[in-house]
Amino acid sequence: MISDEFIRTGDLQDIASYPAWAQDMVGSCADARERVANHALFHHMRDAELDASQASTFLVGVWPVIEQFPQYMAQNLLKVQFGRTRGHDEARRYLIRNIRVEQNHADHWLEWALASGVEREDLLHGEVPAETHALAHWCWHTCERDSLAAGMAATNYAIEGVTGDWSALVCSKTDYELSFDTSVRAKAMKWLKLHARYDDEHPWEALEIICKVMGSNPTVRGAALIRSRVITSYEYMRLTLDHCLEAQEVVSRPAPLISLADYAQERKRA
């Protein structure tokens, strides 16, 4: 009997080093990933063209995902069967190591928000738009309910991976960085610069673990599940970004005022 165990032999960050099913998954999700990585909101951010409403909606709206990311990994850690299931030993080390890293990232996001004029109380306790909160609910759902490989695919591979893409786009020019006062500039940019590194290995390490757990020849249903979780994360991220970009339009086009007399006439005609 031929073993379907996956053992990577090529470079960690070369998709050709991974099984055919994983290469197919990455290829079939590429367009959805690109819609997030190259979203208009990040082009406006890069060029320092976001208005206060858009920036605030983004920073407050995405905060639940940033705050809860260590908890998503903790949910996946609960599924690990150390020493008994392939890939689980590596998953255990990866998740434990990165939970602390993600906690530090939450601190950096807070500094970014404060430097952008968002009040601490609004970030930590303010109302989060349902359109952006959906991403956090999705991440919690898949990490709580799905398999270890599926939960990591949705979060550590998909979300962390594309976040590196769009962070690099924002940092590709200095306009946004220079828009912050020099007294807060370093703290404001720390989250972005940490995620903009082109050599970030975390998403690739997650993909390797997913492939170890799934093997080189998973069932059709198993491979489809991984693809579904990855592309769903991209789609929820895109919906979040669409809403944040539209925040400026909502603020700049207030509803026209109407007198009580006109309102009464409208009611009669209705």
Q: What domains does the chain contain, in order, with CATH numbers?
A: 17-269 (1.20.910.10)
What local confidence, expressed as pLDDT, does residue 103 receive? Answer: 83
Quote the DSSP letter at residue 5.
-
Handedness of CA 183, 188, 193, 194 (dihedral sign): positive
What local confidence, expressed as pLDDT, does residue 200 receive? Answer: 81
Provide, rounded to the nearest whole percent, the portion of the chain with pLDDT above 70.
90
pLDDT digits (tens, 9 = 90+) for 27-37: 999 999 999 99
What local confidence, expressed as pLDDT, does residue 262 receive? Answer: 53
Q: Which residues of 154-187 are buried (b: 16+ CB within 10 A; e: fewer)?
A: bbbbbbbbbbbbbbbbbbeeeebbebbeeeeeeb
Mean pLDDT value across residues 164-174? 97
pLDDT digits (tens, 9 = 90+) for 189-221: 999 999 998 558 999 999 999 999 999 999 999
Model confidence band, residue 263 (pLDDT cutoffs 50, 70, 90) = very low
Contact, 154 vs 166, CB < 8 A? no
Rounded Cα distance, 178 and 174, in Å: 6
What local confidence, expressed as pLDDT, does residue 199 receive? Answer: 59
Q: Which amino acid is at 26?
A: V
Mean pLDDT of the chain: 91
User: If you count them, how many residues does the chain have?
Assistant: 270
What local confidence, expressed as pLDDT, does residue 267 receive? Answer: 47
For 5, the token pair is: 């165990």
Model confidence band, residue 250 (pLDDT cutoffs 50, 70, 90) = very low
3-state helix, strand, coil split of the chain in percent (to 5) is 75, 0, 25
**Alpha-carbon torsion, ordered 76, 77, 79, 81, to 10 deg:** 150
Q: Would you tell me how many other CB atoms lie within 10 Å of the CB of residue 87?
A: 22
What local confidence, expressed as pLDDT, does residue 270 receive? Answer: 47
pLDDT digits (tens, 9 = 90+) for 86-104: 999 999 999 999 998 888 8
Mean pLDDT value across residues 110-123? 96
Rounded to two decimals, what is the model's pTM?
0.89
DSSP E strands in 86-182: the ranges are none
Rounded Cα distance, 87 and 46, in Å: 38
Question: Does the pLDDT at position 26 exceed 80?
Answer: yes
Nearest CA to 55 among 170, 217, 218? Answer: 170
Rounded Cα distance, 64 and 76, in Å: 18
What local confidence, expressed as pLDDT, does residue 258 receive? Answer: 44
Model confidence band, residue 269 (pLDDT cutoffs 50, 70, 90) = low
Model confidence band, residue 268 (pLDDT cutoffs 50, 70, 90) = low
Question: Does the pLDDT at position 261 exceed 80?
Answer: no
Question: Does the pLDDT at position 168 exceed 90?
Answer: yes
Number of H helices, E strands in the chain: 14, 0
